[in-house]
Amino acid sequence: MKPTLLENRGVPLEKQKFTWRDLVQKPISKLDDDAYTRVRIILMNGIELEAHRFSHSAARMNGPELQLPLAQVRRIEQHQATMINWLIGADHSPLETTIAYEQVAIDVTAAVAMNEPDDYLAQVYRFGLLEDFDHMYRYSALLDRLEGKDANNILQSYTDILPGRPTLVEHRAPQDDLRRPYDRKKAAPLSKLHALTIMAAEQQTHNFYMNIGPMYADPVARQLYAEIASIEEQHVTQYESIIDPTESWLEKWVLHELGEVYNYHGCMEQESNPRIKAIWERFCDYELGHLRLAIELFEKHERRDVAEILPESLPEPIPFASQREFVRETLAGEVDLRANGTEMVPKSKDSKASIAYREQMNSEGSPSETVSAGYKWAPGSELKLKVA
Partner 1 sequence: MNQSGMLTAEDGGEKMMENIALTKPPRGDETDLAKIRLQYAKHAEPVGTIPEPTPPGIAAVLMDKLGERLAFERSGTRLYDALMVKCAADKSCGVPAKELKHLRDEEAMHFALVGAAIQALGGDPTAQTPWADVAGVEGMGLMQVLTDPKTTVAQALHAILVAEMTDNAAWDELVELTGQAGNDDLVGRFAKARDEEQEHLEKVQGWYKQAVQAAGAAGAGRVRATG
Query: Rule CB under 8 A: which residues touch partner 1?
Result: 26-27, 29-35, 89-91, 137, 145, 152-154, 156-158, 160-163, 166, 217-220, 223, 273-276, 322, 324, 365, 367, 369-379, 385
φ and ψ at residue 339, rounded to 5 degrees: -105, 135
Q: How far is the CB of 378 from partner 1 (least distance, A)?
A: 6
Residue 230 CB coordination number (10 Å): 16
Nearer to partner 1, 161 or 242 (CB): 161
Nearer to partner 1, 38 or 206 (CB): 38
Q: How far is the CB of 273 from partner 1 (least distance, A)?
A: 6
Q: How far is the CB of 156 from partner 1 (least distance, A)?
A: 5
Nearer to partner 1, 121 or 331 (CB): 331
Helix (H) or strand (E) holding 340: strand 338-340
Q: How far is the CB of 167 from partner 1 (least distance, A)?
A: 10
The Cα-based distances of 325 to 38, 101, 114, 159, 220 in angstroms read: 22, 20, 11, 10, 32
Q: How far is the CB of 352 from partner 1 (least distance, A)?
A: 25
The Cα-based distances of 148 to 86, 151, 222, 377, 380 in angstroms read: 25, 10, 17, 12, 9
Nearer to partner 1, 154 or 306 (CB): 154
Nearer to partner 1, 85 or 322 (CB): 322
| CA neighbours closer than 13 Å in the CB half-sphere of residue 292 | 16
Nearer to partner 1, 56 or 376 (CB): 376
Q: How far is the CB of 160 from partner 1 (least distance, A)?
A: 6
Q: How far is the CB of 324 from partner 1 (least distance, A)?
A: 6
| CA neighbours closer than 13 Å in the CB half-sphere of residue 136 | 27
* 103 and 39 Cβ atoms separated by less than 8 Å: yes
Q: How far is the CB of 313 from partner 1 (least distance, A)?
A: 30
Nearer to partner 1, 77 or 227 (CB): 227
Nearer to partner 1, 158 or 253 (CB): 158
The Cα-based distances of 324 to 137, 159, 335 in angstroms read: 14, 6, 15
* 343 and 129 Cβ atoms separated by less than 8 Å: no
Q: How far is the CB of 145 from partner 1 (least distance, A)?
A: 6
Of 91, 113, 103, 147, nearest to 322 by C-alpha is 103
Give the whole-angstrom CA distance, residue 259 versus residue 215: 33
Give the whole-angstrom CA distance, residue 264 versus residue 268: 6
Nearer to partner 1, 145 or 358 (CB): 145
φ and ψ at residue 197, rounded to 5 degrees: -65, -50
* 130 and 334 Cβ atoms separated by less than 8 Å: yes
User: By three-state DSSP, how is residue 120 classified?
Assistant: helix
| CA neighbours closer than 13 Å in the CB half-sphere of residue 291 | 27
* 89 and 28 Cβ atoms separated by less than 8 Å: yes
Q: How far is the CB of 272 from partner 1 (least distance, A)?
A: 10
* 130 and 330 Cβ atoms separated by less than 8 Å: yes
Nearer to partner 1, 205 or 223 (CB): 223
Residue 216 CA, distance from chain mean position: 23
